[in-house]
Amino acid sequence: MTLLRGEKVLRTYRIALGREPVGAKRQEGDGRTPEGRYRVDWRNPQSKYHLSLHISYPEAADAERAKAEGVEPGGEIMIHGWRAEAEGDWTQGCIAVRNEEMDEIWRLVPDGTAVLIEA
């Protein structure tokens, strides 16, 4: 994950993704991370995954596509810290970073920040 301010690279982070890291999220429970343009729309300081920033998925186009396919789009996609005691697919389509990195991201990224997720 690359954190930018304008064209300037501020930081680069290694990430963990869900059990199906290849391909865009299509429906709830598929273990994939959505791809596209989103924004940080709220934050959770009491997250069970250290800290978490919510990504605005599903946007209208995601919801419309899911409805047309007869599936639920899912939601609660976050950038969050590591949960050391977790096992299995604990990211469930979210983007996870180390806790100390999440502390830094939490300070540097205000609500409303644009997020581009791409393969």
Cβ burial, residue 79 (10 Å; 0-12/13-18/19+) = buried
> What's the predicted TM-score (pTM) here?
0.89
Residue 37 CA to residue 56 CA, distance in Å, equals 9
> Of 51, 53, 94, 95, which one is the catalytic site residue?
94
> Of 25, 50, 54, 80, which one is the catalytic site residue?
80
Residue 109 CA to residue 3 CA, distance in Å, equals 9
pLDDT single digits (tens) 31-82:
899 999 999 999 999 998 889 999 999 999 999 999 999 999 999 999 999 8
Does residue 89 register a pLDDT over 80? no
Q: Confirm whether 12 is a catalytic residue.
A: no
| pLDDT value of position 24 | 87
Helix (H, G, I), strand (E, B) or coil at 11: strand
| pLDDT value of position 48 | 86
Does residue 98 register a pLDDT over 80? yes
CATH number for the domain spanning 53: value is 2.40.440.10
| pLDDT value of position 118 | 87
Distances (CA, A) of 109 to 16, 21, 40, 115: 19, 24, 8, 10
| pLDDT value of position 90 | 67
Q: Confirm whether 54 is a catalytic residue.
A: no
Instruction: Give the chain's domain count.
Output: 1
Residue 30's domain comprises: 2-117
